[in-house]
Structure 1
Amino acid sequence: MISAICLSLSTLQAQAQHVEYRSTAHYNKRVAQFEREGGIDENTIVMMGNSLTENGKDWAGRLGVPQVVNRGIIGDNTVGMTERLCQITPHRPKAIFLMAGINDMVNDNPAIEVAGRVINLIETIRQQAPTTKLFVESLLPINESNGRWRTLAGRTDDIPLTNMYIRAYCESNGITFVDIFHKMTYPNSNVLREELSSDGLHITEAGYRIWEKEIKKQLNF
């Protein structure tokens, strides 16, 4: 019964016209911007995620595909992404590239719990847009050497563990998992290479070029 209620709520959410959830001021601003822009249809490829996705800016230009839209929001987590699916899934886009989970690692949430939150988001997307091709991107590595991100202190090795859980789920359910993590670490390490980030979390243009390359490999579908 609980599952049926949750599915009904998800269906109602997918049919909604507006995002009722309110998070940060930036979240609200971006959601309002997306509502004004619209522009998602069955030919659209959606880049959905947090600051890493938003800061990629012109993903259409990066990938050389005009129908790609950037739906990243700085600071967003799986809750915020779930709440704003109503702007995306009812339009049945051609594909969604999803990156989520790094902002769910705060408050010492264990890797398996973070992975569970991402998996719940994946399942909601599949329920609401079953014809949309879904690509799940790995969480990216971090580099704790500058000590800037205290909420992620000690989480370097939890990120690949979280990726392992998510990857296993994807492989068991016929979902494409895009491993970007291992393209950005030092050899035999879980640490983000210093030249790919200025703050140990957000990536530089060199990092985005690696990301672009991995996404381009998936565009022939």
Structure 2
Amino acid sequence: MRLLLLVLTISSLLSAFDANVTAEESRWESAIQAFEKQDAEKMPPKNGIVFVGSSSIRKWDLKKWFPDRNAINRGFGGSEASDSLEFAERIILKYEPRVVVVYAGDNDIAHDKTPKRVYDDVKQLVNLIHSELPKTKVVYIAVKPSIKRWALIDQVREANRLITELASSDELLEFVDIDKPMLGEDGMPRKELFVEDGLHLSEEGYAIWTALVKPHLSNE
């Protein structure tokens, strides 16, 4: 009887795990297919700038903030660095961009991934882009300090430190430090830079990001 109960318990757990994995894959697949539908209707020209990452990218109105650029938004909310890596062929490489802007690591740390794991995943993504597109520059936006996730600031800054070191040895990887510009005189995140949830950016927040990222968009 005990053996039967054990077998049933394990079977139930495996089924639940498979269901969770399938649901997660389906979630991302839906977002990726939506991008592919857009491409089928109108394929973005090559040699543009791909913005990829989580909801901070997805919510960025690139037409408003970068009107004179061929900016392609391929952010999908809730994603981590490993997700951008998994779907790189479908949301980055096929556009043959001259610059790729990456924001990833925020959700990773919130989901208990270590700074070293964030570094490893970002490094893999950067290496893949360099391998397939050797002339393409990668611009990595630092994991932001936020009101909602302030308790994780030490891990955030350690991940940023590791990726800064990676950028220092790679001439086609540039690190955009957004930490200090987003803090007030008290050393805490500036409330006006966030919407009500204390995590996502307000228009003022995106104005700062845009000003900091723009100088990095040339790869001449």
Question: TM-score w.r.t. structure 2 length?
Answer: 0.78
Q: Shift of the alpha carbon at 1:50?
A: 0.4
- How far did residue 122 of structure 1 move? 1.6
SS at structure 1 position matched to 2:74: strand
Q: Percent identity?
A: 27
Give distance in 1, aligned partners of 2:31 and 2:125: 20
Look up the match of 1:72. Answer: 75
Q: Which residue of 2 aligns with 1:6?
A: none
Q: Given the superposition, is the C-alpha separation of residues 182 and 83 from structure 1 closer, same or farther in structure 2, using an over 3 Å criterion? A: same
Structure 2 residue 50 is matched with structure 1 residue 46: yes
Q: Which residue, out of 100, 124, 143, partners 2:128? A: 124
1:86 aligns with 2:89: yes
How many angstroms does 1:187 deviate by? Answer: 3.5
Q: What is the CA-CA distance between 1:188 and the residue it aligns to?
A: 6.5
| Counterpart in the other structure of 1:133 | 137
Partner of 2:209: 211
Supply the distance in 2 between the matched residues of 1:50 and 1:181 (Cα, whole angstroms).
18
Question: Is contact 2:62-2:73 (8 Å) kept?
Answer: yes
Deviates more, 1:67-76 or 1:113-122: 113-122
Change (3 A) 1:210 1:23: same
Supply the distance in 1 between the matched residues of 2:24 and 2:181 (Cα, whole angstroms).
32
Cα separation, partners in 2 of 1:187 and 1:158, compared to 1, 3 Å: farther
CA distance in 2, matches of 1:107, 1:136: 20
Which aligned segments of 4 or more residues in structure 1 are displaced greater than 6 angstroms? none
Q: For residue 84 of structure 2, what is the amino acid of its counterpart? A: M
Where does residue 35 of structure 1 map in the other structure? 36
Q: 2:185, 2:124 → 1: CA distance?
A: 32
How far 1:66 sits from its partner (Å)? 4.2
Question: After superposition, what is the alpha-carbon deviation per residue over 1:72-128, rounded to whole angstroms, capped at 9, x for unaligned?
Answer: 000011221111111221332121111111111134332222222222222222222
Distance 2:200 2:153 in 1: 14
Contact 2:99–2:217 under 8 Å retained in 1: no
- How many residues were matched structurally? 192
**Alpha-carbon distance in 1 for matches of 2:123, 2:135:** 18
Range with greater deviation from structure 2 (47-56 or 100-109): 100-109
Counterparts of 1:48-197 in structure 2 under 5 Å? 48-56=52-60, 58-87=61-90, 88-144=92-148, 152=149, 154-174=151-171, 175-187=173-185, 189=187, 191-197=188-194
- Higher Cα Rg, which structure: 2
Residue 196 to residue 91, structure 1, CA distance change in 2 (3 Å): closer
Which of the two has greater helix per residue? 2
Q: Deviations for 1:13-62, whole angstroms, at most 9, x for unmatched residues?
A: xxxxxxxx973655333211111222244321111110000011x31321
| 8 Å CA contact retained: 1:92, 1:131 | no
Which residue type is aligned with residue 122 of structure 1? V
Give the Cα–Cα distance (whole angstroms) in 1 for the partners of residues 34 and 129 of structure 2: 21
